[in-house]
Amino acid sequence: GESVGLHLPTLSVQEGDNSIINCAYSNSASDYFIWYKQESGKGPQFIIDIRSNMDKRQGQRVTVLLNKTVKHLSLQIAATQPGDSAVYFCAENRGNTGKLIFGQGTTLQVKP
Amino acid sequence: DSGVTQTPKHLITATGQRVTLRCSPRSGDLSVYWYQQSLDQGLQFLIQYYNGEERAKGNILERFSAQQFPDLHSELNLSSLELGDSALYFCASSPYQGANYGYTFGSGTRLTVV
Q: B60 vs A105, B63, B66, B69, B78, CA distance in Å?
A: 21, 8, 10, 19, 10
Shortest distance, CA A18 to any CA of chain B (angstroms): 25
Q: Which of B10-24, B66-80, B92-106 has the lowest mean pLDDT?
A: B92-106
What is the average pLDDT across B33-45?
A: 89
Q: What percent of chain B has pLDDT over 90?
A: 90
C-alpha atoms less than 13 angstroms from C-alpha of B83 in its C-beta half-sphere: 1
Q: Could you tell me if A1 lies within 8 Å of chain B, comparing CB atoms?
A: yes
pLDDT at position A4: 57
Whether A99 and B56 lie within 8 Å, measured CB to CB: yes
Q: Could you tell me if A53 lies within 8 Å of chain B, comparing CB atoms?
A: no
What is the average pLDDT across B20-26?
A: 98
How do residues A51-60 score in pLDDT, each as one tens digit?
A: 999 999 999 9
User: With bands split at pLDDT 50, 70 and 90, how would you rate the model's confidence at A101?
Assistant: very high
C-alpha atoms less than 13 angstroms from C-alpha of B67 in its C-beta half-sphere: 5
Whether B102 and A41 lie within 8 Å, measured CB to CB: no
More confident of the two residues B65 and A27: B65
Shortest distance, CA B16 to any CA of chain A (angstroms): 27
* H or E element at residue A23: strand A19-24
What average pLDDT does the structure give for chain A?
91
User: With bands split at pLDDT 50, 70 and 90, how would you rate the model's confidence at A6?
Assistant: very low
CA pair distance B113, B79, nearest whole angstrom? 11
The overall longest dimension of chain B from CA atoms, in Å, is 38
